[in-house]
Every structure is written in C-alpha cells, then in structure tokens.
Amino acid sequence: MSKLLVTGGAGFIGSNFVHHVVSHTDHHVTVLDKLTYAGNRESLAGLPQSRVRFVQGDIADPAVVGELMASVDAVVHYAAESHNDNSLDDPRPFLDTNIIGTYTLLEAARRHGTRFHHISTDEVYGDLELDDPSRFTETTPYNPSSPYSSTKAGSDLLVRAWVRSFGVRATISNCSNNYGPYQHVEKFIPRQITNVIRGIRPKLYGKGENVRDWIHADDHSSAVLTILEKGTIGDTYLIGADGEKNNKDVVELILGLMGEPTDAYDHVTDRAGHDLRYAIDSSKLRGELGWQPQYRDFEEGLAATIDWYRDNEPWWAGAKDATEAFYTAKGQ
C-alpha cells in the first residue's frame, strides 16, 4: 500500500484516476485541487473517506505543497489550466499554474525524494498535416502552438531538467484527446452533447477537418497507473488508442446517436492557430509495459458518454450558460 498525492483530482481526468486507483489498488489518495471553474467535488462523490482525503489549495503555494509532499510516497500531477480557447483569451493563469505550479511541486518532490509522475499532452509536439503518414513518438521535437500547449511543453521540460540535474524520480506521459463522463462542457464533445440536449445547434470551428486522436478517460487512467507502477525513471511514454477522427465526423456521429439530422450544426469562427491533426504512436507503452486500451469502439464509448450527460444534468447545468456566453462573445 502506498500514499498518493493527486493534483487536479477534482477535474475531468484527475477524478477519473482517483476512482480508478480506489477500485484497482489499495493505495490511499490525497487530492490537492484549487477548485477553479473546472474543478467539481461532485466528481469525487461516493468515494470512501477512509481512502480519499480532499485538500483545497493551489499547487503554486509552497507551504501547502511542502506539507502534503512530506506525507506521500508519490505524486501524480494532473492539475493544470487545460483549455486552449481560454488560453487564447487570458494566458496568465496558464503560466501561474502550468509553469510555476509544476516548478513548486518539483521543488517539493526534490526536497522529500518523492516519486513524481507528470501528466501532459500530445499538443506539445505541435500538429501534423492531414496526409502525413507519421504519428507522434517519444522523440518527436517539441513545437507547441498555443499558450496552453507551450506552458505544458515548458512544464515537461522542467520535469526533464529536475530528473537530470537533481535526480528527481520522475516519469512523463503525453496523452491524446480524452472523452468520457465528467468532462467540462467547454470541451468539444460535451459542449456538443449538452447543446443538443438544450436545443442549441452544435458548433464546429472552421471546416471541421481538424483531426483529434480520441481515447476514453478510463484508458488514460489505466495507462498512468501502469507507468507509475512499471515505468522507467526519467522516461516519457505516449498514451493513445488509435482513435483518429475529424471534428465534422464526430459532430455528425453525436447528432445521429442523439436522434437528430446529421447536418443540424453550424460552422463558426475558427480557433486562432488551430492545430490541424494530432496522432499518437503508443508502441513504447504497449511493448515495454504491456498496456492495452479497453475501449476499442469509439461509437460505443460516445453513446455511453451521451447517456451520462443525459442522466447527470445537475452535474453540468451550472456551468453551461456561462460557457455558452463566453463562446457567443467570441463568435463561436
């Protein structure tokens, strides 16, 4: 049995990992989360208090981070400002949390000798052309496009430097786009599902040709636990489930699954600097650590996600109006 500190554990993917750890291990978890607009304690409802403790606080606060780090064996670092569109509107919180927050955690891990796993994104590699046969690998050069992805790239590089210069026992994973329950309604898939539920037409940026490599959040969690248990210190692992789809196809799939005409959506102003395509080659994780995704049928996972948003309106209703007002003001 180990004690884990999970930062950002009240967010979409962090809360999924906490549920995964409780049901697949006997570890104890302390969640450190600032509860920004993106954090929701309801995402942790039903977990046993004997196994999961919640602390509200900022990862950039050295006092709270130092105290918690002293009491755990490992930290799994999810906390971040995570939304590209917000980063185009106001980059500052991305620097504070993604850069200074990660630095603060690394310094505490260095002092206490804590095992560190850093959660990152495929967006650090920039984008690929639609007809490029290659995919991102662990050796693809960093080339981030947005304030969000550049701060995630910066945080990855800090982790690498703290491994090499100070011997921090860290691993890094870069995952592709996640979908599933408990995702904030600002993100593409839940925005369109909840739009349809509310009678609003889905909104596709530009032509909708941009490709994302979708993975279910449950598969991301099982991959992270595998890396935490079996990963080589200092190594990076790419996490993906061969789920490439363009945005237009995803919107049409959502509309079809929800019983609407598949052309009942609007094209809106494109995102500035919009990355064209992401694609992950996860052979290293599969070959070296034996990980496999469980969700192999995107349509099935999407249908279950639609059912979850239909059944859990109280979880997302509070954020929906403000999110749509933000997008409407941007012509999106």
Q: How far apart are CA 265 and CA 278, in angstroms?
A: 24
Binding mask 201-230 for ligand NAD (x = CB under 6 A): ------------------------------
Please tell me the number of Cα atoms within 13 Å of 230 on its side-chain side: 13
User: Binding mask 72-91 vs ligand NAD (x if CB under 6 A, - otherwise)?
Assistant: ------xxxxx---------
Q: Which two tokens stand for residue 96?
A: 């504070």
Would residue 123 show up in a list of annotated catalytic residues for this protein?
Answer: yes
Measured CA distances, 148 to 124, 155, 201, 267, 273 (Å): 9, 11, 27, 24, 12
Sites for ligand NAD among residues 130-159 (CB under 6 A): 152
- Which of the following is catalytic: 33, 85, 123, 219? 123
Quick one: what does residue 8 bind among ligand NAD, ligand TDX, none, with the CB cut-off 5 to 8 Å set by partner type? Answer: ligand NAD
Work out which of 7, 15, 82, 87 binds ligand TDX, going by CB under 6 A.
82
CA distance linking residue 182 with residue 308, whole number of Å:
9
- With CB cut-offs between 5 and 8 Å by kind, which of ligand NAD, ligand TDX, none does residue 84 bind? ligand TDX
Out of ligand TDX, ligand NAD, none, which partner does residue 218 contact, by CB within 5 to 8 A per kind? none
> Which SS3 state, helix, strand or coil, does residue 216 take?
strand
Instruction: Give the C-alpha separation, 162 to 88, whole Å.
Output: 29
148 among known catalytic residues: yes
Integer Cα distance of 123 and 98 in angstroms: 14
Query: How far apart are alpha carbons 94 and 125 in whole angstroms?
Result: 18
Residue from the set 205, 308, 315, 326 that interacts with ligand TDX by CB under 6 A:
205
Q: Which does residue 30 bind out of ligand TDX, ligand NAD, none, counting CB within 5 to 8 angstroms by kind?
A: none
CB of 23 to ligand NAD, least distance (A): 18
Per CB under 6 A, the segment of 57-65, 199-207, 245-253, 296-304 that binds ligand NAD is 57-65
DSSP state letter for 95: I
Indicate which single residue of 121, 192, 210, 221 sits in contact with ligand NAD (rule: CB under 6 A).
121
**Of positions 78, 188, 214, 291, contacts ligand TDX by CB under 6 A:** 188
Cβ pair 124, 174 in contact under 8 A: yes
**In sequence order, what are the residues at sequence separation of 6 or more whose Cβ sits closer than 8 angstroms to the Cβ of residue 252?**
262, 263, 265
- Binds 126, which of ligand TDX, ligand NAD, none (CB < 5 to 8 A, cut-off by type)? none
187 is a site residue for ligand TDX (CB under 6 A): yes
Nearer of residues 121 and 247 to ligand NAD, judged by Cβ:
121
Contact between 4 and ligand NAD per CB under 6 A: no
Q: Of the candidates 235, 241, 242, 220, which has an alpha carbon nearest to the alpha carbon of residue 288? A: 235
Q: What is the largest CA-CA distance in the chain?
A: 58
Residue in the block written with tokens 């995570």:
82
- Minimum distance from CB of 228 to ligand TDX (Å)? 19
Q: How far is CA 247 from CA 18, 31, 141, 255, 286, in A?
A: 29, 33, 25, 12, 27
Question: Which residues in this chain contact ligand TDX in the complex, by CB under 6 A?
Answer: 82-84, 121, 123, 177, 187-188, 191, 203-205, 210, 212, 247, 271
Residues with catalytic function: 122-123, 148
